[in-house]
Amino acid sequence: MIYIILLVAILLAVYAAAENLYILTVRREKLGSGIKIAHLSDLHRRSFGSDNSRLISRVRAENPDLIIFSGDLVSRDTDSLEIAKKTLDQLCDIAPVYMIYGNHEQSISAEMKPQLEAMFAETRAVLLRNQHTTVSINGRELKIYGLLENYGVYKKNGGYRGLDSVTCADLEKLLGSCPDGEVLLIAHNPFFAEAYAEWGAKYTFSGHVHGGIVRLFGVAMFSPERKMFPAYSKGVYTKGNMKLLVSAGLGKLRLFDPAEIVIYEI
């Protein structure tokens, strides 16, 4: 019996190493037709080949009409933005990139914050901080909003538990009223799906939960807030008239929860 346990432990360690060092999946979701969107999230410190060459190659092969990055391109304790800059530049060569800050960009060190701002200013990526833009693709007009969650990711005192809530009224204060038409909202934290739906988004792109960090039988085990069985961890969720589109992300340690690029047709 001890040899079986040892063999299982070795196999698990080998798989975990492969998953965290190499495996990169593409998940496809067909929600309509006419526009193809590549959704990336939560890269943090992870790198897929030199300057993320494998990641770039996989995205390029999909030939998306636009790319959405729903936050945490870097980690809060990063001391270099060189790879992040090269990654964004290469993504922008593939398709227009629209993105937001995640909680890590918001809590980056005071020393790195000006460098982060300068880095985004030097790229062609469109960083939306409680702002919006309108794009026309294949004869359709998309209104893309980016939420800067000054609150709603951590408590105001910086802790992990007892999240502040985000309401529809908060969204209207930060973003204004939701317009008619096809509205895409990029909001790092998916836990406030009801508010996003009430506000009026047709599609909301989120990350943050890292797929639950560990997934057993398709069930998410943990959230970054140290809570078990988080809701909205990975996949497509319907809330009223809205589709909540949650990426399991690319970085951080994970088990049975491989890094993913998500391709949506809408």
CATH topology assigned to domain 25-265: Purple Acid Phosphatase; chain A, domain 2 (3.60.21)
The first and second tokens of residue 213, run together, are 């960090």
Q: CA–CA separation, 183 vs 43, rounded Å?
A: 25
**Assessment of whether the complete model's pTM goes beyond 0.75:** yes
Q: Looking at residue 250, what is its pLDDT?
A: 98
- In terms of Cα–Cα distance, which of 214, 223, 219 is closest to 256? 214
The first and second tokens of residue 2, run together, are 């001890």
Q: CA–CA separation, 140 vs 35, rounded Å?
A: 9
Q: Looking at residue 2, what is its pLDDT?
A: 87
pLDDT tens string, the chain, 266 residues long: the values are 888 888 778 887 888 898 999 999 999 999 999 999 999 999 999 999 999 999 999 999 999 999 999 999 999 999 999 999 999 999 999 999 999 999 999 989 999 999 999 999 999 999 999 999 999 999 999 999 999 876 444 444 555 555 667 899 999 999 999 999 999 999 999 999 999 999 999 999 999 999 999 999 999 999 888 789 999 999 999 999 999 999 999 999 999 999 999 999 99
Q: Looking at residue 154, what is its pLDDT?
A: 47
Q: Looking at residue 58, what is its pLDDT?
A: 98
In terms of C-beta density within 10 A (0-12 exposed, 13-18 middle, 19 or more buried), how is residue 180 classed? exposed
Q: Looking at residue 161, what is its pLDDT?
A: 58
Sign of the Cα pseudo-torsion (165, 170, 174, 180, in order): positive
Q: Looking at residue 90, what is its pLDDT?
A: 98
Q: CA–CA separation, 89 vs 169, rounded Å?
A: 36
